[in-house]
Amino acid sequence: MRIAVDEKKRWYHSSNRVFDILREGSTITQWEELAAAFSHKPSMLCVDDDMVISHNGREKGYLYMIDEPIKIGADAYQHPRTTIGENTEFITSRPLRVVLVCELDAPMNTQVCVAPKQ
């Protein structure tokens, strides 16, 4: 899977903590739903061919938007070990200001990923 990235579009991060500055080395994405899913701290997360996200996370979380411009290569770079797909996850190269978008309740019904039958 590969998603399109546009430096002018919004970037997101999620956490189960509240803060104003995102640390260098954190993961960001332009896929809002992916960031929201990671806020629940899943031990397993899957994305199917239709880009439907399923996970087993159970924690309450917070969704953040990066509050300054991001230049790929200078401020963030492709996550070198992502298993989701090209352009889905980036690692920050410096601290970044964030704005809290919303608080996300703990999921009531999350789907657990299952390996395909062989």
Domain count, the chain: 1
User: Does 28 map to a domain?
Assistant: yes
User: Does 109 map to a domain?
Assistant: no
User: Does 42 map to a domain?
Assistant: yes
**More confident call, 48 vs 12:** 12
Measured distance CA(49)–CA(13) in Å, rounded: 23
User: Does 114 map to a domain?
Assistant: no
pLDDT at 106 over 90: no
Query: Per residue in 47-79, pLDDT tens?
Result: 888 888 888 888 899 999 999 999 999 999 999
Residue 118 has a pLDDT of 42
User: Does 22 map to a domain?
Assistant: yes
User: Does 112 map to a domain?
Assistant: no
